[in-house]
Structure 1
């Protein structure tokens, strides 16, 4: 109980302290005209109210990530709390802030072009392909998943729902951002927030009354509590399983969309840093709820071995703790939230391709030229077993975050500012990603090598990248 309260408190306090420090360190200024003030086109560059942008950004980066990822991460035990809190404050929220603010400072451009400006044209080309693959994987997965769930709920074939979701995605990708996304996202975002607040409130009620046992972080629980620790290694796999809620490279693909709608740089802290802190709170709530409902990490692992997936766990918890209203909220969360990540994945992909080709997106015909091939490929992939590709999305997500962190560190170095707030997290995540590729089992995209090889090589690669970074910026000076 105490661990949960302290963790939530640290996340909230961090927004007003470290978040303010990051904002001042970056140099956000109301005197600098944002892209929408100079490049408004009524389609992608379109002014939106700050509160609306915050809710859209929150839903873009959240979806089911901080729920399902946190539940899977909770199987490792209370060590998940450490990663969520420290990762969110010093890595994830800062990563999101810099990716959004760098986009604002560069005319709202997409992530690959920002990376290319600071890490070179070859890296830009790689990022265009890499982010395109990641966004396509996310988009396609969030077509099949919700369609299958809707089919089960309505006792219908998933095929009609597949077409309905695709039709929505096409409209959300093509139409001006205020027409669909700007209008319905606030309602869906509020539903996600309400679900988190309701579950969090029940946790506090259950903890204070003794109806629930909330796992504490102690010396005894600071270990890997997963039921299969040999194939679910605490370091680095926990840091990949929990991405949304701690740090996620997918967020850096979403932030430029909101950067094109902001009227003042001072809104960057609540929109970028604040949305990520909110996501960290959601992750804390669901990690705690998953353990509390099943009586601890051991009970959660037993439930998972019995076939309870994160979707089933969400449904069971909402029904048990929140009643009929909870059942409705669970349906909204499990079905609608992934859809609201899928549509922005496709929209981001359109913008990335258009930016790479320097192709004006104001005329509808230009948007169609870019979007039609995307959706043709996406439709074809919906008929393919996507599990082989999807297993690489988790690690791909963190590789993307690592590259974004190195980009931000380079930006700070070129501005003559201390780069440590970005270079140290970049080094750490470089070690995590390299070690994961080496030590993780084959089924999740790793080589499954021994720890005696994986850990030293991971450390050498991460520290080597840091040394290379220091050498280059020193040379440039």
Structure 2
């Protein structure tokens, strides 16, 4: 119990202390007009209130990541909660803040355009491909996962016999509608309620564990176990844990979602709450599910058995119904199901906007929106026929690689403007080493090299990339005749920003 409260306190403290520092380094301009007003079109650029934008952002970025990832991460023991805390504060929060605020500063641009501006055209082309691949994988994952969960719930709780494919078709049909209608008609109207339900559900489940006579919140674990790898399958913590717990700590998918709300935010001063704050909120949800998985089943061995037989979805089902009964379990389970659905539609919406930017096609008319969206849904439908486990593995790697690119983009922006770039550079270096080591070492996705060799190559490659980005950023820095750096608004970067 104390370990959970300690981690939660660190997370909240990180928002107020480190989040404020990140905001100060960025340097908000309250008087600057945001894209919601500057480019208002009634479809994608629509001003919405800050609480509403926050709840939509939270739902957009959440998906099943902050639930399935922490459940799988819990197999490493309570130490996984440390990565959730420090990953959120120093990596995920920074990543989400800059992916949102750089979009605000660049007229609501999508992540490939932002990356291209600060890292060059080659990086832009890479991100166009990688972001679209990631978003398609996300869309497929967030169709398959909720379809399977709803099918199991209906078939087990009723006499009906619903097929998985019919549920996939229903969710896809909803995605088509939600992707092409104006953002305030469905997403802006209903998602704040779903966001509140998500928070209520998470708090309800953790409260049920605390008051339960059968379960204790992390009570079966000793303090010494909070800092060791307890994985019963002898899987190494490095680098797999940092790929497994993605959305609960840092996720490149968020970089594709933040521009959606960057087009709706009313003032730059709301950015810390909306972008950094939503990441902290997701981290709190990840902490809850990591603690639930460890507490409800009593040991990582018992948790491992449930995951092996039914996957993380079985953990959600057993914990929800076991803690809250049938009625409460159905509500909690549906709350989890809503997450991937409300992220899947925005994944396809982001894909549409990225393609529209690439082809320079205005999205005010329904015809143009359909032209961009329908090919994506055809590809997504084809990918639903691929084994879910394969899609999920590729999603994890693609997700974290996209996060690496966004962090290096933030580094380039800060270095170019003589700001304290290390807030982005350090997490960028760490995550670069993670993804390179992972792909070199992993035998099913990558090259199957020895861990030591993979790690050494990963570290050396990280050093080379760091030198390249910082050197290029300084070379691209525009200075005026007085030798002072000029920011994107043509304003001198003052000395204290250095």
Q: TM-score, normalised by structure 2?
A: 0.91
Contact 1:74/1:291 (<8 A) preserved:
yes
| Structure 1 Cα separation of the partners of residues 215 and 379 of structure 2 | 53
| Structure 2 Cα separation of the partners of residues 381 and 304 of structure 1 | 24
Aligned to 1:321: 323
Q: Out of 404, 407, 410, which is 2:409 matched to?
A: 407
Structure 1, residues 302-336: CA drift from partner, whole Å, max 9, x if none? 4334x142111111111121223331223313432
The verdict on how the C-alpha distance between 1:464 and 1:167 changes in structure 2, with shifts beyond 3 A counting, is: same
Q: Out of 154, 170, 173, which is 2:176 matched to?
A: 170
Aligned to 1:245: 248
| Structure 2 Cα separation of the partners of residues 457 and 91 of structure 1 | 22
| Structure 1 Cα separation of the partners of residues 426 and 17 of structure 2 | 20
Shift of 1:118: 0.5
Shift of 1:344: 0.5
The verdict on how the C-alpha distance between 1:360 and 1:181 changes in structure 2, with shifts beyond 3 A counting, is: same
Structure 1, residues 179-221: CA drift from partner, whole Å, max 9, x if none? 11112212221221111111222344359x9845436574444
| Structure 1 Cα separation of the partners of residues 162 and 373 of structure 2 | 29
Aligned to 2:157: none
Aligned to 2:110: 110
Structure 2 residue runs of 5 or longer lacking an equivalent are 155-159, 478-498
Aligned residues: 471
Is 1:290 aligned with 2:293? yes
Contact 1:79/1:217 (<8 A) preserved:
no
Contact 1:63/1:341 (<8 A) preserved:
yes
Q: Out of 253, 269, 278, which is 1:266 matched to?
A: 269
| Structure 2 Cα separation of the partners of residues 367 and 108 of structure 1 | 17
Contact 1:84/1:280 (<8 A) preserved:
yes
Contact 2:103/2:114 (<8 A) preserved:
yes
Q: Out of 255, 260, 267, which is 1:257 matched to?
A: 260
Pairwise CA RMSD of aligned residues?
1.9
Aligned to 2:459: 459
- Residue 344 of structure 1 aligns to a residue whose secondary structure is helix
| Structure 1 Cα separation of the partners of residues 475 and 28 of structure 2 | 28
Structure 1, residues 340-390: CA drift from partner, whole Å, max 9, x if none? 111011000000000111111011111111112112222233334454344
Is 1:364 aligned with 2:366? yes
The verdict on how the C-alpha distance between 1:15 and 1:452 changes in structure 2, with shifts beyond 3 A counting, is: closer
Aligned to 2:94: 94
Contact 2:218/2:291 (<8 A) preserved:
no
Structure 1, residues 69-99: CA drift from partner, whole Å, max 9, x if none? 0000000012201100100001101110010
Aligned to 1:31: 31
Q: Out of 173, 188, 192, which is 1:186 matched to?
A: 192
Structure 1 residue runs of 5 or longer lacking an equivalent are none
Structure 1, residues 382-428: CA drift from partner, whole Å, max 9, x if none? 33445434421101100000000000000001111120000111001
| Structure 1 Cα separation of the partners of residues 67 and 202 of structure 2 | 9
| Structure 2 Cα separation of the partners of residues 189 and 215 of structure 1 | 32
- Written as runs of structure 1 = structure 2, the 5 A alignment for 1:3-152 is 3-152=3-152
Q: TM-score, normalised by structure 1?
A: 0.94
The verdict on how the C-alpha distance between 1:309 and 1:383 changes in structure 2, with shifts beyond 3 A counting, is: closer
- Residue 302 of structure 2 aligns to a residue whose secondary structure is helix
- Residue 48 of structure 1 aligns to a residue whose secondary structure is coil
The verdict on how the C-alpha distance between 1:464 and 1:446 changes in structure 2, with shifts beyond 3 A counting, is: same
Q: Out of 372, 382, 385, which is 2:384 matched to?
A: 382
